[in-house]
Amino acid sequence: MEEIAQVLCNVTDELKSSEVFIELHHYLESQKEIPVDSIYLISKPIMESNEYEYDYKNGFLLLIKNHKVMFFTTDSLDNDDFITFKEDFLEDTGALARKFEYVGLIGRSRDWKSKGIISSICLDEETDFTHLLQENKLDEVNSRVSNLIISLLTGSINNVSELDKELFSQEQTLLESIKNRIMLFDTNQTKFVYNEDSKSPIIRIQGLAGSGKTELLLHKLKKLYVEDKGSRIAFTCFNKVLADKLRGRVPEFFNYMKVDEQINYQRLFIASSWGSGRYPDAGLYSKICANYGLKFHPFSRTKDKSEIWKEAISELTSLTNFEPMFDYILIDESQDFEKEYIELCQLVTAKKIYVAGDILQDIFSINKETETDFLLNKVYRTDPRTVLFSHVLGFGLYENRAVRWLSEEEWVMSGYSIEEESADEYEISRSPLKRFGEELDEASYKSIVVKEENDYINGVINTVKELRGQYEGIQPSDIAIIYMNYDREASSQAEEVSRRLYKEFNWYSVIAPHEKRVNDNDEVLITNVNNVKGLEFSFVIIVNNHRIEEIQDSNIEREVRHRNALYMTLTRSFISSTLIISERYATREYIDQIKQLSNDLYERGPSTIVHKPIEIIDENELYHVTHQEVKSQFDIIEECFVERSIVGKTREDMLPMLMAIPAIKDGTTEKQEILKLIIQLEPIFKIKK
């Protein structure tokens, strides 16, 4: 697939009509040798652009990451008006650097000039564009300064307090590059945050895992909150753990974005989607029900969610002259929701809804909505080799019956090139990306590791030991250990892994299903698939303790959910994902296939040959498979223990008694019933409430 450069052009009408400018614009659109996803032609800073006005109409800037900040004029370099334009622009950029506390890292405008990071160019019919770009390329260290200047001018503000100032001006290891990554919007992301002017009541973002959807929603949230004074905004997602994380991220984000006013939580509501009848502010649905006096239905795995949302819509529309309770709603991980939920949100929103979802999870989910306003198919978090590997496993492309085979258009929309090699045999590939402002040497590390190990505890500990030996400066919080099936055996293993981590490495850990929180800076996260969505780590270790079987009519829902979970967990990593598997849970043939794929990706890069599956799951069958949280009976018990503050030995002693109850053992008991049983048992264990 030949990539077309995305050029964001924000210059005066006079310049747009100039022949030499048109020629430059066309040249940039055709480029393959430069980062085609982030080319800017601007005549003023993009963020808060109304604050910046310049009289000079024949000057502009060309911004390309890892290049000098290039000032252009169509007059002459010694033109007084151009010189004034350049000095005023640099002065304003310096003010932005001071506002966002960049100065300690990048210095002042005089420093940028002395280091040769600023260049001035006269654009005329003699300009050699190829030579020009080569001449303005920067080395690794100076690129970091230039990239941060570009981030200021394009509104892609970084939290520089997280960057290591001592390492900023020197060569960095792979792990150091990840930890000191500079975020730069691509042009499509910038358009969504700052140039989105659609009149549609719903704006849809579709992107792959790791394409920056949540970060974009945060920037859009800030823009709405600051610019639309007094507006009422809701920010929601399905997963409770992710919602809790968002509650912490939003004030942090507002802080480093220098939002002057304190957050008013009467204006800004952040919660998971469902909530509680007893605590309406616990979720968006319960808050809507409480606000309008609608009937609230507690969450249940056995209830048809679409029917619940339809009932709420019917009740709401039957009210006389009801007023919207929000001006904007932002919905993250929209693939977790039925279309009726989006419709309910639209009814209670006065102005606009922003919906962000994973395009590939949507392809095999309940949400058949294909309309997209902003497509994000470039993954900046996860190595492209890992992305490809996750899609092969997620779609079941090594099976006789696969979850899905994409059309050529869908492959391209998902960021792939696809070439037919022979009948029913195709090469799929992804382009390498400069994920952190600089090119990483993919040959220096394996992004995806498949380990065959019968002893999962030792497999995890040995993997941690290998990572500690390979990556200098690795910290506990760099690692997440994820169990694909969090049952009683996995819970016991997690506790033993936690003990071993401390015994062998003096590392602390948090077992998320037991404590319902994410890890602190000095802890390894040990978790299940439900509690890792929306999170990211330098390394993930995935314990595949779920049987991978051929997809038959009897197990479609179970297997599709498992493949989807594999895709999601594999793409949580910045550097590498390790999949630990054994013949207890997969066939010999399957293990050999994915091991070979892992090795091939390391040797050849993000490209592989796949066969079009003999059979593909019928779309109507696929439509009924939901991808909302899938909780085992054990998961629900763990939640109840957390709510009742039952820990330690009491938890260990009570668990077998609960699991011996036939209804619980069969996996059919709802949360409220389990809570009642636990409360009945509490006096036996002398628990006072």
Mean pLDDT of the region 407-418: 84
Q: Which residue has the higher pLDDT, 299 or 263?
A: 263
Could you tell me if residue 686 is left (phi over 0), alpha (psi between -120 and 50 degrees) or otherwise beta? left
CA distance 678 to 311: 32
Q: What is the pLDDT of residue 90?
A: 97
| Residue 88 binned pLDDT confidence (cut-offs 50, 70, 90) | very high
Task: Match 């070979």 to its residue by tokens.
Answer: 596
Q: What is the pLDDT of residue 135?
A: 95
Q: Which residue has the higher pLDDT, 515 or 72?
A: 72
Mean pLDDT of the region 513-526: 78
Residue 169 predicted with pLDDT over 70: yes
Q: What is the pLDDT of residue 629?
A: 46
Q: What is the pLDDT of residue 512?
A: 84
Of the ranges 48-52, 222-226, 670-674, the best mean pLDDT one: 222-226
Please name the residues in contact with 499: beta carbons below 8 A apart, sequence gap of 6 or more: none
pLDDT of 205-215, one tens digit each? 888 877 888 89
Residue 3 predicted with pLDDT over 60: no
| Residue 624 binned pLDDT confidence (cut-offs 50, 70, 90) | very low
Half-sphere exposure of 319 toward its Cβ, with a 13 Å CA cutoff? 16
Q: Which residue has the higher pLDDT, 514 or 489?
A: 489
Residue 490 predicted with pLDDT over 80: yes
pTM: 0.80
CA distance 565 to 572: 11
Q: What is the pLDDT of residue 484?
A: 93
CA distance 687 to 679: 9
Residue 332 predicted with pLDDT over 80: yes
Task: Match 């009683």 to its residue by tokens.
Answer: 488
| Residue 407 binned pLDDT confidence (cut-offs 50, 70, 90) | confident
Report residue 15 as tokens.
């310049």
Q: What is the pLDDT of residue 623?
A: 45
Q: Which residue has the higher pLDDT, 655 or 550?
A: 655
Residue 1 predicted with pLDDT over 60: no
Mean pLDDT of the region 256-274: 92
Residue 626 predicted with pLDDT over 60: no
Q: What is the pLDDT of residue 553?
A: 66
Dihedral (CA of 647, 653, 654, 660) sign? positive
Q: What is the pLDDT of residue 636?
A: 79
pLDDT of 22-55, one tens digit each? 999 989 988 766 655 679 999 999 987 778 889 9
